[in-house]
Structure 1
């Protein structure tokens, strides 16, 4: 696959992006924290109001400034709140309203990281205040000292994680007393004590502090540097062991942000923890678009078969249901599509699913199920299926080649054309079984029917793409410009981005000129692994995608399995019990 770009040089410039603390990995010594505490008229930001704001600005352990102000609420302060905080109605009578006090605080805290003890409480009141006063919420990064304390302070050190208890533990210079500035000063000392503890555990940046969890081992945290070289761009990442062998392949819209999560508590999968323990490096592969990233991921997994990728490792093992091209066609399960005039449905990810679909056809179409090749009037003995009326016995000459051809035609339609008659017969039989309360048999038939519909729909969608020498399609980007792809015989051959405001056609022509040359396959199998073609199909079928040029045809049969699948899939998800099938 060849990638061209609408930007200068060899890489695409996606525009100026303000880098976040997470991208930069800001050392804690360089972070400006504003430790805030609020006193309020009650416990809910929906019904109570702020009565006092206290804040302390610190960086590298030094106090840079303080802010304290009472705030006049629009309703009286309840008596029990006065008993708790000591703030009376007379004290706030001449205080500024929140419309005046809030802008002063926002200016004081601008560009900083907010810190609070039980931050959810204070942040909820601040957000309610900015909404009530018509100010935008600045989107502060927030550190909660309660959350950190629960990770770092054991019960044998202090009975709880209340601010007063932690202030005593860390020897705070101010005793918290439910006055905003005093509590904020105490929280500063608690913050510094907690930062000292995480520093001993290898946590030295704001992002590490924000995502810190005691559930993440020190060995895993020490490997975080592996993600530091990742670019903030979409693409594929490959974890490798000490010998350079791929352990795991994944995709991301932001490689740096995604790979960093493997070293935090947000990654809870045991297998991934084991994989990170073995990893010695991460290789990034920058892609222009998510579609390109998905395709590259599939190809890398198929090529290297990383042991920690649970899916897509063996695309070569897919199978097809084949209606043979012979005088008396029969169904069989095969691994390869050949140019011999046969009809195929699939691909299936397992032989068991293919067998289920084949059984669905046999339920309603009396194809022969013997495995030997028959000649007209072969004279062989009839099997039990003929006695049961489920085969016309062409082996004995009772069914002519022309008569059997009509039966084979119905099977061919069920697999690759108008499957409505076969599906109607299956649905009728399914309803009969359910109505007779033969639920176990009905469930088996339902599963067979779904396997058939899914496979036929897949083949009918993939085959036109496999036959088309080239399909060029485009989708408008949110930031402007176009994402364009070239698909040749079902394989992603090239992709490009045209910049906003530019004529996309020169970029499209450049892409087509250097796109991969793809040989014509034997349909319905595409030139790519079928899973890649299905990813491309989902992209092409997304609303808003426009066809630029089609060399060949892109069609699906009227009455094909796609419509039936669209009807059956939602119903199948609702079938908790098979007796609902008939409703």
Structure 2
């Protein structure tokens, strides 16, 4: 696959100019606003109000300022809250209302990272009243000291992660007393204690702190340097072991940020921890567009079959249904497509799905199912299928070639253009079985029909794309630039992004001239894997895509299988949402008052 000139300029700039932002913001340079609230209850949405806001601004262990204000809640403070906090109705008389207190706090905290103990509670209240006032909520980054403590503090050290318990553990100079500023000061000491402990685990930046998870081992964290040479650009990354074997292939819109998460983020999959333990280096391929990255990922997985990519276990084991070209044609399961002028349906990644499609066709058309080679005038004994009227029985001369050929044409039409006959026959059979309450058998036929409709629709769409020698399409990205892709016989041959101010026609001409030469594959299949061509198709069919050049005719049959796909997809989705009667985990008792 080739790439436009714009795709190589950006990566080079990233490599040459590694700013401090790219390396992460050191915690010592981050300004934190540690905030605590006192309220009349536990739910702002339920009518609880804020009675006090306290905050401390710190950076590098130094206190830069403090903020404290009582807030008039506009309602009586419940007695048990007054006992807990010491804030009474008389104390808040004359205090500012939340409409004045919130803007003052937001001005104090502007441009900092918010910290709170049980942050969803405090931040949730603040956001609720900001929304109520029609005030935009600043894009604060938030650190929750309770969440961090649950990941680094053991039960042997303290029985719980309450603020008072942690303040004792980290020997805070302030004892929490349910007053906002006092609790905020205690939270500052807890934050500093947690940061010191996390530093020993390799957490030194705000990005690492925000994504920290205690289940990421210290061995994983020690390998975070493997991501430092990666650019902030879309592309594919490859983890390799010390023998240069590819362990895992992935893709991301931001290579460095994504690979860092394997060492510092909430990566809890044990397989990934095992993989990182074996990794010796991380290679990368910068891509011009996200689609190119996705396609390269597929190709690299197929090439290297990495042990930690689940889908790479059997990447080449696919099946096709073939309508043979012989005197007495038949349907058969095959492993590859030949240039033999036969008709094919597929590919299928599962042999079971292919067999369901085969059964649906045999249920509809009485073509022979034996694998024997039959001459022009065979003279053999009929099999049991002939006696059951499920085969025209050419083996004993029961059918002439012309009649048999007419049925084969119907099979070919069902495969390539119009599956209506299959749909009608199996729907009628399902109706009869359901009327007889033979629901399990009806379900078997339903699954066969769904498998056939999906396979036929997929084959028709892929075949339409595979026939085209070239398609050039473009789409305007969110940043205003145009992504351009050249597709030949279903394979992505080139990708690029038009630079600002460049002549679009010249760029496309150069991109096409340098695109990969792609020869058509045998039969109806694309010159790429079906998964790659489907990704390309989804991009081509996405809103906003403009066709620049199309060589050949891009058409799908009007009466094709796609007409029936929506119904079967809806049935499949509804089945996924059903709760079996013997599985009550998703059910909850409902109390209905007596009338």
Instruction: With the length of structure 1 as denominator, give the TM-score of the two structures.
Output: 0.92
Is residue 52 of structure 2 the alignment partner of residue 52 of structure 1? yes
Does residue 494 (structure 1) correspond to residue 494 (structure 2)? The answer is yes
Tell whether the 8 Å contact from 1:158 to 1:165 is kept in structure 2 after alignment. Answer: yes
CA distances 1:486-530 after superposition (whole Å, capped 9, x unpaired): 110110011222356765333222211111111122231111112
Written as runs of structure 1 = structure 2, the 5 A alignment for 1:314-463 is: 314-463=314-463
Distance 2:567 2:361 in 1: 19
Deviates more, 1:4-13 or 1:23-32: 4-13
Secondary structure of the 2:52 match is: strand
Distance 1:215 1:30 in 2: 27
Structure 2: tracts of 5 or more residues without a match: 579-595
Compare 257-266 and 500-509 and name the one that shifted more: 500-509
Check whether the contact 1:6–1:12 (CA below 8 A) recurs between aligned residues: no
DSSP 3-state at the match of 1:248: strand
- Separation in 2 of the partners of 1:13 and 1:488? 31
Partner of 2:119: 119
RMSD: 2.5
1:269 to partner: Cα distance: 2.0
Distance in 2 between the 1:170 and 1:509 partners?
A: 66
Give runs of aligned pairs for residues 15-164 of structure 1, distance below 5 A: 23-46=22-45, 47-164=47-164
Residue of structure 2 in register with 1:168 after alignment: 168
Tell me if structure 2 keeps the 8 A contact 1:475–1:482: yes
- Deviations 1:117-140 (Å, cap 9, x if unpaired)? 222221112212322344322221
- Comparing 544-553 and 221-230, the one that deviates more: 221-230
**8 Å contact from structure 1 (residues 71, 96) kept in 2:** yes
Give the SS at the match of 2:332. strand
DSSP-derived class of the 1:346 partner: strand
Alignment partners' CA distance in 1, 2:395 and 2:566: 39
Change (3 A) 1:20 1:110: farther
Aligned CA distance change for structure 1 residues 176 and 11 (closer, same or farther; 3 Å): closer
Instruction: Give me the whole-angstrom Cα distance separating, in 2, the residues matched to 1:217 and 1:10.
Output: 34
- Cα gap change, 1:352/1:91 in structure 2, threshold over 3 Å: closer, same or farther? closer
Instruction: Quote the offset at 1:93 in angstroms.
Output: 2.8
The CA distance in 1 between the partners of 2:564 and 2:501, in whole Å, is 42
> CA, structure 1 residues 315+216, in 2 after alignment: closer, same or farther (shift >3 Å)?
closer
Alpha-carbon distance, 1:424 to partner: 0.8
SS in 1 for 2:139: coil
Q: Which secondary structure does the structure 1 equivalent of 2:128 belong to?
A: helix
Q: Distance in 2 between matches of 1:267 and 1:350?
A: 30
Deviation at 1:7, TM superposition (A): 7.2
The DSSP-based 3-state class of the residue aligned with 2:440 is: helix
* Match of residue 181 from structure 1: 181
Q: Does the aligned pair in 2 maintain the 1:466–1:523 contact within 8 Å?
A: no
> What whole-Å deviation, never above 9, does each CA across 1:126-176 have from its counterpart, x for those lacking one?
212322344322221111122222223333333432222222222221222
Structure 1's 159 and 352: CA in aligned 2 closer, same or farther, altered over 3 A? closer
1:521 aligns with 2:524: no
Compute the displacement of 1:478 (Å): 2.2
CA separation of 1:326 and 1:163: change in aligned 2, threshold 3 A: same
Partner in structure 1 of residue 585 of structure 2: none
Unaligned runs of 5+ in 1: 578-583
Residue 13 of structure 1 and its aligned partner are, at CA, apart by 8.2
Residues 240 and 280 of structure 2 are in contact (CA less than 8 Å); yes or no, is this contact kept in structure 1? yes
Q: Secondary structure at the match of 2:316?
A: helix
TM-score, normalised with respect to structure 2:
0.90
CA distance in 2, matches of 1:24, 1:353: 48
1:8 shift after superposition? 8.7
Q: Is the 8 A contact 2:118 2:147 kept in 1?
A: yes
Alpha carbons 2:213, 2:267 under 8 Å: kept = no
Q: Is the 8 A contact 2:7 2:496 kept in 1?
A: no
The whole-number CA distance in structure 2 between the counterparts of 1:154 and 1:270 is 21
Relative to structure 1, the CA distance from residue 407 to residue 336 in structure 2 (aligned partners, 3 Å threshold; closer, same or farther) is same
Between the aligned partners of 2:166 and 2:370, the Cα distance in structure 1 is: 79
Residue 262 (structure 1) aligns with: 262
SS in 1 for 2:249: strand
SS of 1:375's equivalent in the other structure is: coil
- 1:262-341 matches, cutoff 5 A: 262-264=262-264, 266-312=266-312, 314-341=314-341
Q: 1:70 to 1:502 in 2, by over 3 A?
A: farther
CA contact (8 A) 1:174 1:185 kept: yes
> SS where residue 220 of structure 1 aligns?
helix
Number of residues of Structure 1 aligned to a counterpart in Structure 2 = 574
